[in-house]
Each structure stands twice: as structure tokens, then as C-alpha cells.
Structure 1
Amino acid sequence: MNPGAGDDAGGRYGEAVFRPEQAGEGERIDFGALAYDDVTLARLSALGAGPGWSCLDVGAGTGTVSRGLLRELGVERVLAVDRDVRFLAERPVPGLDLLEADVTAPDFSPGRFRLVHARFVLMHLPERERMVGRLAKLLEPGGVLVLSDAVDLTSEVAPGTPYTRAMRAMWRGLRETIGTDVSWVPSYPALLRAAGLAGVAAEIHVPPLVPGSPISRFWADTWERSRAAMVGTGLLDDDALDAAVRWLDSEECAALSAGMLTAWGRRPPS
């Protein structure tokens, strides 16, 4: 995904750190998809996504969820939105429409949908509470809004491993450079209720952090791209970051990866 918000912090996501034109960025996003797509599509299916549904996939990235909705769940149409659609354009499928746009822009109004889905998007954007309300207004009566974002599990009591030190530096560095903030993610259910949605619920998935796994490769690539921001926090230096990357691929690797909190709510049918 490649969120954005003009000149605000979130707008620097793809300019300051995770540049789409940088070699390997599409593969980095796909490693995350391999770790989370099965869980995401299972939840969307359980919520009813299927034939006849029109869907909006916000911050669609490389389009793995969009294509899964079409190919695996059989939805009728998916509008995939991103500030940079180059990865989406590389893999067209019938029923997939693309829109290059900034979802935080005042004039963003792509229509109404049975499903609005955003994964790893709002955590990078400013005015997050307002964005939840705006996305809820894009639902048809009876439609469902599904939001997924990261939750940090490197608490103060977590062992001081190379991994935990790197994760803490990453979250602080991304917050200081592009505005990423996962501290508010557990408030999703309350925000969905405040937006007038019903049947609100949430769950958390934590992929196993083992050597060679997609999520381990995702973090290694993510740390490399955010190296300057991480070292800039003063929490670690280049040598410590290199050690953390090696630790991910070692038998000593024993930690909880960041979880993915998914929350959903449905617009009342009346």
C-alpha cells in the first residue's frame, strides 16, 4: 500500500521511506501479503463478501487482496485505490478497476460500495478518526467497513533482543519521519461505533516469526528501507541493525511479530 495525505506526514510514506520506484519495493509488499492475505480473505468471506458485491480496496499496494476478492471470493467488481498504481497495473484481472488518488483529499468520492477495505493504511495517515468516518460514508446500506493495522507487541517487559530493539527503533523512526502511529489502533472498534456502524467486532492475528518466513523477510526489507529513520532515533546504530537482520534468520529467533488487528462494522440497512 502507498497511503498519502498531501503535505502532511502520511504524504511522505512513498517519498521519504518506502518509494515505489525503489528496486524490490513490490516484493517487500508481497512478503507482507503472504503473511496476512489468507487471514484477510477468510475474514472478508465470513462477512459475506462474494458474488454481486462491489468493493473498494483502499491503499491496495500490489493488489493481492483485490485479486483475491475477485478470483477466490467471486465478487463482481473491485476498485483498487492507491497514490501510485504501478504495481496494480502490472497485474490486471477482469473486474479490477484502478484509481490513482489520495484518499485524504477533500474531493475523494469514488461512489458507494458493499465492502470498503483498508489494510496497513490508516496507521500512516493524519486525522485518523476523521478518515474512519469518511470511509464509513462510502458504504451502501448494509455494507461493511473492514480496517486492519499493526499492533506493536514489543512491550516494556519483552526480552531485549536484537529484534525488539530494531522494532522499537522502527516504530519511533517512522513516527518521526512519516507520521506512522500504531498506538491508537486498538481504538478501532470504538471509532467504528462512533461512525454509526453496527455489529462491530475485532480480532488479532500474529504470524509466526521464524527464519525464512514471509514476515521475517518483510521485516528485514522494511528495516533496510527505513534504516536512516531507525538509526536517527539513537536507539541503535548500523551495526545493531545489521545484527537484528541476521537474528531474524537465525535459530535464536524467538519473538512475537507485530500483530494485525482487524476490526469491522456494518452500516445499518435503513
Structure 2
Amino acid sequence: MSTAKYIFTETQYAQELKRLQAIEKIFDPTSHQRLKSTGINTNWRCLEVGAGAGSITQWMAGMVGEKGQVVAVDLDTRFVANLEAGNVEVVEGDIQHLPLDKQSFDLVHARYVLIHNPDAHAFLSKLLELVKPGGWIVLEEPDFAAARAIAGEDSACQSVNNVNRAIEQMFTARGMDYGLGAKLPALLQSYDLQSFSVEVDTHLSQGGSGIATMMHMSTMQLAEKYLATGAVTQADIDHYGRFAEDPNTWAIYYATVGVVAQK
């Protein structure tokens, strides 16, 4: 994942931290369950790719104990640089070019990271190289192709669907797949893995709920990129925000596909 390709690179510090913390609050409980299913234990060496605001890094550090280690990698480590844990190492850079030892991790986790890479297959190959034989990889990726307005005023639903098309066009213009999550299991099938499980969370969300509000934040931060596609107007962006905060509306903003696999 190159810095130029990450869609949130230019966003302001406070706004991006708030968005990342919203993601953590919504999705960490499910991520914890997937990570626990690997048997994560004391003394494990774990890798968190795309550390964000650091909540999963801190959780894994607690699970592996003082004799374990968590390496947290991100292109931008400003939100995790001051994590206070003796068993955490924070590394800034592109995981594809960092000098990490192959087959050195018991567990590798990435959430909403592969979607930002034009060559998801190459990125996935790199992650699997870092997993020990018998080790685990846990991946969670969005499928924006599932997004659609379900209930609300017709004009607002149309604006939501227009924004969804803008999201598709933004990713496509950057050489990325906005529906990557749904293809993740097929990608992993091409590797020699001992065990493999897949879960899909569709996230049918009421206006004002955590996911709706988080997507409103994302849309405000990415409004210029959406407008540049020509698929939306500023009025669509404004309607999307009102829709996302209206408790009488319902939408699928995206689905999350989670895969747990053993090497």
C-alpha cells in the first residue's frame, strides 16, 4: 500500500482520529472473537498491519503477555507512536518493503487494509510469508458492492445510492476493488492453508447508529474525492449526511467479510 493510494492520507488529524476510534468501537468486539478463535496465547509474536488508533495492538499486547510481542505497522504511526507497553514495537512504513523476518509471526491481523492496495494478491502473499508454519492470519475487509439504501425518503435514498456509486468510481479510478471483501475467500483459496473459515457481517444499520455515523464522517472527509468522480453533487453529499443521522432511515453501508486461516 503506497501512501499516495491511501484515501484518507490528507485528512486532518482530529477528524481522522475520531473516525478511527469510531471504527474501533463498532468493530473491535467482533475482531476480538475472530482473533481469539486462533488460540492467541502468552508468548505469541503478533503482527498488526494498519494499526490505526491502536486498540487491537493494545488488546493483543494484553493477550500475549510480557514475554510475547506485538509489532504494529502503519504508513502513519502518529496515533500509536506513544503506546505504553514493553511488548509493543511500532514501525512506520509500507509492510511490503519493511525488513521483517519471514515466517516469524504466530498471528498476523489486518482490518480494512487490503482494499487500499491495487494488487491485493501480492499484498496477501507478503502477509502470508510472515506467518510461521502452523500460524494464523485473520483478515477483515469491506464489500462496498453490498451497499444500498433500504428505507427513507426517495430523494434521500437516491442521494445515498449516488454516493455509493461515487465510492465505486473512486476506488476503480485508483485501480482498487471496492468489492474486495466478497472476493477475499477466493483469493485465499489459492494458498496452501490448513484450515479456513469465513464470516460475513452485512451491517444493516439504522440512521444515527455507529456505522451510519462513521460513514457520515468518512463521506465528509472524502467529499472532494467523491465530487471529483462526477457521480454526485454537493446536494447528494448533504442528503447523505442527513440520511445517516436520521433514525427513521435504514441502509447497508457495506458488508464486512472476515477470514480466519491457518498456514
TM-score (norm 2): 0.87
Q: Does 1:65 align with 2:53?
A: no
2:259 is aligned with 1:263: yes
Does residue 211 of structure 2 align to residue 215 of structure 1?
Answer: yes
Contact 1:171 1:180 in 2 (8 A): no
Output the CA distance in 1 between the equivalents of 2:11 and 2:72: 16
Aligned pairs (5 A) from 1:218-229 = 218-229=214-225
> Is this contact kept in 1: 2:207–2:248, CA < 8 A?
no
Judging changes above 3 Å, is the alpha-carbon distance between structure 1 residues 30 and 206 closer, same or farther for their aligned structure 2 residues? farther
* Whole-Å separation in 2 of the counterparts to 1:65 and 1:92: 14
Same amino acid, percent of matched pairs: 24
Number of aligned residue pairs: 254
* Change in 2 beyond 3 A, CA 1:150/1:74: same
1:79 match: secondary structure: strand
Does the 8 A contact of 1:20 with 1:84 survive in 2? Answer: no
Q: How far 1:174 moved relative to its partner?
A: 3.5
The question of whether the paired residues in 1 share the 8 Å contact of 2:22 and 2:210 is answered with: yes
Amino acid at match of 1:45: K
Q: Contact 2:72–2:89 at 8 Å: present in 1 too? A: yes
The DSSP-based 3-state class of the residue aligned with 1:86 is coil
Judge conservation of contact 1:151–1:186 (CA < 8 Å) in 2.
Answer: yes
AA at the equivalent of 2:129: K
Q: From the superposition, tell whether residues 211 and 91 of structure 1 become closer, same or farther in structure 2 (CA, over 3 Å).
A: farther
Residues 1:93 and 2:90 are matched in the alignment: no
- Which of 174, 177, 182 is the matching residue for 1:186? 182
Distance 2:150 2:130 in 1: 40
Judged with a 3 Å threshold, the aligned counterparts in structure 2 of structure 1 residues 207 and 64 are, in CA distance, closer, same or farther, namely: farther
Q: Judge conservation of contact 1:124–1:179 (CA < 8 Å) in 2.
A: no
Q: For residue 252 of structure 2, give the secondary structure of its aligned residue in structure 1.
A: coil
* 2:110 aligns with one of 110, 118, 123: 118
Code of the residue aligned with 2:33 in structure 1: it is A
SS across alignment from 1:200 = strand
1:166 aligns with 2:159: no
> Counterparts of 2:235 and 2:10 in 1: how far apart (Å)?
24
SS in 2 for 1:255: strand
Q: Mark the runs of 5 or more structure 2 residues left unpaired by the alignment.
A: none
1:38 aligns with 2:29: yes
The Cα shift of 1:217 comes to 2.0
Indicate conservation of the 8 Å contact 2:147/2:255, yes or no: no
In structure 1, distance between residues paired with 2:218 and 2:200: 21
Q: How far is the alpha carbon of 1:20 from its aligned partner?
A: 5.8
Contact 1:123 1:181 in 2 (8 A): yes
Write the distance in 1 (CA, Å) between the matches of 2:241 and 2:12.
Answer: 23
Query: How far did 1:70 drift?
Result: 2.1
C-alpha distance in structure 2 between counterparts of 1:20 and 1:77, whole Å: 31
Give the secondary structure class of the aligned counterpart of 2:94: coil
Q: 1:172 to 1:92 in 2, by over 3 A?
A: farther
| Unpaired segments ≥5 residues, structure 1 | 6-10
Is 2:96–2:123's contact at 8 Å kept on the other side of the alignment?
yes
Q: Which amino acid aligns with 2:14?
A: A
* 1:168, distance to aligned residue in structure 2 (A): 2.4
Partner residue of 2:243 out of 222, 240, 247: 247
Comparing 56-65 with 19-28, greater Cα deviation is found at: 19-28
- Aligned to 1:151, which of 128, 143, 148? 143
Deviations 1:117-164 (A, max 9, x none): 111111111221122122111111210111111012126x96771333
Matched residue type, 2:252:
L
Structure 1 counterpart of 2:233: 237
CA distance, structure 1, for counterparts of residue 243 and residue 105 of structure 2: 44
One-letter code of the match for 2:85? V
**Structure 2 counterpart of 1:26, one-letter code:** L
Give the match's secondary structure for 1:60.
coil
Q: Give the distance between the partners of 2:175 and 2:221, measured in 1 at CA.
A: 16
- Equivalent residue, structure 2, for 1:8: none
Q: Is the 8 A contact 1:231 1:237 kept in 2?
A: yes
